[in-house]
Chain A
Amino acid sequence: MTFIVPIGPQHPALKEPEFFKFEIKGEEIVDIDIRFGYVHRGIEEALQRRDYKHDVYLIERICGICNVVHTTNYCQAIEQLAGVEPPERAKYIRVIILELERIHSHLLWLGIAAHQIGFNTLFMLAWRDRERVMDLRELISGNRVTSATNTIGGVRRDVKTEQVPTILRGLDALERSTKYYIDLFNSDRTILARCTNVGILTKDDARKLCAVGPLARASGVDTDIRRDHPYAIYDKLSFNVITEREGDVWAKSIVRLREILESIQIVRQAVKKMPIGPIRIKVDLNIPRNEAIERTEAPRGELFYYALSNGTDRPERVHVRTPTCANVASIKRMFLGGTVAEIPIVIWSIDPCFACNDRVSLVDSHTGKTFNLSLKELRKWRH
């Protein structure tokens, strides 16, 4: 006898509402269905009605967590359309805020993942350390979340020399705590028990289902847009692309944690090598007909933009494909054969840009009886 377990769409623990329907047989998950669209606002259509400059602020609010990578990608696409190059110093500043964003996003992920496996102490610790990154972001851009630093033709705020020692001190503290978390993931029994051999995505499946970002790298697919298709000044910095072979939740966590260390190295190098010079150039925004494709590596994977101009100060079309969209296809493969208790952590292991699985109802498909479970009760679900 199979049960249907719908998860969502209401009561997000954190972010956007989505809807998952799990079909379970006893404890085993036999099928899964996903429905999108609860947060559809009509952004791509609104982008066509505004001019290029205004679009930056709308683009920034596609996703609050990875707003810098969205604006960087958009600005690079428009710069490509207009055929201009931002000044060197602007590119360095972009990389600094991009990498700080990756650190904040991965720490946020770590905290919520710990919460999903019932390890609330780690949740609080990770978010405590995340505040250090937020401080650095506030120092550089003047705002904690939406930085509004990028603009077409460069950046709007400079990194001052007085700020550099503070940034380096912050990074040192972050490096210490990240190393501690890596140790924890290698040794803590609770984490190992909940994360190893759970939600496995094999290398073959990751390739076939076009997984991107840390999800693909945790399955052994060696891909990173920062290295394969360098933008800004990533080609002048040295960093490693982290991969693991296992493909389970543990591998996905370790990939993200080790990426934090790489990001710290990147920021250190960027701060040191930053040349003196202007931070933005003037761009004529009546862009003749042209089209551009731009890719960047967001914290969650490859972010893709397509832009088409038509001779006016408004774009004809801007299309955005976010990494979560690419990764959702892999969810099914990761769940099949798994158990109900794994649902929260496996959903979260792709670092989806939604977290609305607070409410679960189990429907007995024979009697039609429904009973509700909150995500909290689900977390406590034991065989």
Chain B
Amino acid sequence: MGLIRLCRRKSPWLLHFNTGGCAGCDIELVAALTPRYDVERFGIQLRGSPRHADILVVTGPITRQAKDRIIRIYEQMPEPKAVIAIGSCPASGSVYHDCYNVVWPLDKHVPVSAYVPGCPPKPEAIIHGILKVLEKV
């Protein structure tokens, strides 16, 4: 088991899903992948398919259209899995809190391991959030 845990800690693959946010968080997440911040030094990579992913990174206030999809993606991911909510949107709805088409918070729909507050959070904060989750694994 020790070896498997070590491998999991050293290569957490991310799946990113925007549930209707403004894309501010999304570009900061991508910025975290690029040379200045370079999360790949922790073995972190962005993947395209939920079946490859260990950590689901969610941005946005969860529109009604996106709700079923986020649940479906979560169910498709293999165990063990974790969810990180990036930005104020999935935590508190941010500026969209009273819009008619959003169903925040995220933890009503899927279990969340960590929140990274900010609108948008800086890439450093996002990396910090991911590392916090890794400590738990």
Contacts and interface: CB of A to CB of B under 8 A. Distances in A.
Interface of A: 9-17, 37-43, 45-46, 49, 57-58, 61-65, 67, 108, 111, 123-124, 127-128, 130-131, 134, 144-146, 353, 356, 358-359, 374-376
**Chain A to chain B: the 9 pairs with minimum beta-carbon distance, closest first:** A64-B24, A127-B34, A42-B99, A374-B48, A64-B22, A61-B22, A15-B23, A39-B20, A64-B23
Nearest to A112: B30
Which of A12, A49, A111, A374 counts the most chain B CB atoms within 10 A? A12
Contact of B99 (A17, A43, A124): A43
Contact of B66 (A17, A64, A130, A134): A17
Interface string B55-87: 000001101011001001100000000000000
B122 interface: yes
A244 to B, nearest CB: 27
A41 B104 CA distance: 11
A15 B69 CA distance: 15
Given A108-B27, A131-B31, A9 B69 contact: yes
Interface size class of B (residues with CB under 8 A): 35 or more
5 contacts: A11-B15, A11-B48, A14-B27, A43-B96, A108-B27
Interface in B92-131: 94-96, 98-102, 119-120, 122
Given A40-B65, A42-B99, 14 more contacts: A10-B72, A11-B16, A17-B65, A39-B65, A41-B61, A41-B101, A63-B22, A65-B24, A128-B34, A130-B34, A131-B31, A144-B122, A353-B23, A375-B48
B27 A41 contact: no
A11 B96 contact: no
A63 B60 CA distance: 12
Given A64-B120, A375-B48, A134 B18 contact: no
Contact of B50 (A11, A39, A62): A11
A17 B100 CA distance: 19
A10 B73 contact: yes
A124 B100 CA distance: 39
A376 B49 CA distance: 9
B55 to A, nearest CB: 14
A142 to B, nearest CB: 12
B23 A65 contact: yes
A15 B20 contact: no
Contact of B31 (A38, A67, A134): A134
Contact of A38 (B28, B65, B99): B65
A58 B95 contact: yes
Contacts of A46: 96, 98-100
B25 interface: yes
Nearest to B119: A146
Interface of B: 15-18, 20-28, 30-31, 34-36, 48-50, 60-61, 63, 65-66, 69, 72-73, 94-96, 98-102, 119-120, 122
A61 B94 contact: yes
Contacts of A108: 27
B24 A67 contact: yes
A40 B26 contact: no
Nearest to A57: B95
B76 to A, nearest CB: 10
B69 A41 contact: no
Contacts of B96: 41-43, 46, 58, 61
Which of B30, B65, B102 counts the most chain A CB atoms within 10 A? B30
B17 A12 contact: yes
Nearest to B29: A14
Which of A61, A128, A374 counts the most chain B CB atoms within 10 A? A61
B65 A37 contact: yes
Given A64-B23, A67-B24, A146-B119, A127 B49 contact: no
Nearest to A146: B24
B17 A11 contact: yes
Contacts of A41: 20, 61, 63, 96, 99, 101-102
A124 B25 contact: no
Contacts of B28: 144-145
A42 B20 CA distance: 11
Nearest to A44: B99
A356 B73 CA distance: 14
Contacts of A16: 18, 20, 23
Nearest to A49: B98
Which of B22, B69, B95, B119 counts the most chain A CB atoms within 10 A? B22
